[in-house]
Amino acid sequence: MSLAGQVGPLLLLGAAAQYATSADMAMMMAGAPIFIFLLARAISAGDAWTLAAAFGLLLGLAGVLLALSAPGAAALAANPAPGRALALGAALCYAISAVISGEAARAVGAMMAVAASMSVSTALIAAIGLAIGARPDLAALAATPPSAIAAMAMLGIVNTGLGYFVYFRLIASAGPTFAGLNNYLVPVIGALAGALALGESVAASAWAGLALVLIGVAFTGRTRRGRR
């Protein structure tokens, strides 16, 4: 779970960032729900599916594509392929983790599953760093501005720790496929956050894409709850 949920995706996304933009990588995260849908059906992960639910999944994907067809998003197509391929690999890792972590969260609780997963991931990443010759630079750490330390703490505690706790709770209660639909929101919310924080313009097609994404997520969730 640690390898597929944290170690693999973080290393792949770190490498992908050298070739592609963050928006381009966010676009690849839209592949995770498709991977989860296929994996969950292949291994019978407990998700009951109907054609209507699959339609909701495809509707969300259409919303992402519509949002990314907005002016300015087309320029992403000129980015090199390696970055997208690495980011898509990260999406596959997230899908594998979503499918296998549901059982862990139900067996020991979301808090215990997250604590164990994060602890193992920390040890694995530290071991990988030491194995490739990356020695901690204590002098550089001491000279790091407090704002950067606070940003790293926020990423670790809120964006990762708290985020995974909520995610594991959702997987345990609603199933991995529905929980994986959050990846449809990544590229769209990224565009909206860019508009709010950086003053970037958002085309009407982006707003229409967000509406499709939300309808698709709601449609899939409604059909699955009805089936249950």
Packing angle, helices 110-131 and 163-174, rounded to 10: 130
Residue 57 scores a pLDDT above 80:
no
Residue 1 scores a pLDDT above 60:
yes
Residues 6+ apart with CB under 8 A from 111: 165
Task: Give the model's confidence band at 3: pLDDT under 50 very low, under 70 low, under 90 confident, else very high.
Answer: very high
Task: Give the model's confidence band at 220: pLDDT under 50 very low, under 70 low, under 90 confident, else very high.
Answer: low
| Residue in 101, 91, 90, 96 with CA at minimum distance from that of residue 171 | 101
Task: Give the model's confidence band at 93: pLDDT under 50 very low, under 70 low, under 90 confident, else very high.
Answer: very high
| Residue in 178, 188, 11, 179 with CA at minimum distance from that of residue 93 | 11
Separation between Cα atoms, residue 82 and residue 72, nearest integer Å: 21
Residues 166-206: pLDDT tens digits?
A: 888 888 777 777 777 777 777 777 667 777 877 766 667 76
Separation between Cα atoms, residue 81 and residue 145, nearest integer Å: 35
Task: Give the model's confidence band at 44: pLDDT under 50 very low, under 70 low, under 90 confident, else very high.
Answer: low
pTM score? 0.71
| 3-state SS track over the chain | CHHHHHHHHHHHHHHHCCCCCHHHHHHHCCHHHHHHHHHHHHHCCCCCCCHHHHHHHHHHHHHHHHHHCCCCCHHHHHCCHHHHHHHHHHHHHHHHHHHHHHHHHHHHCHHHHHHHHHHHHHHHHHHHHHHCCCCCCHHHHHCCCHHHHHHHHHHHHHHHHHHHHHHHHHHHHHCHHHHHCHHHHHHHHHHHHHHHHHCCCCCHHHHHHHHHHHHHHHHHHHHHHHHC
Give the start-to-end residue ranges of the domains of the chain: 2-227
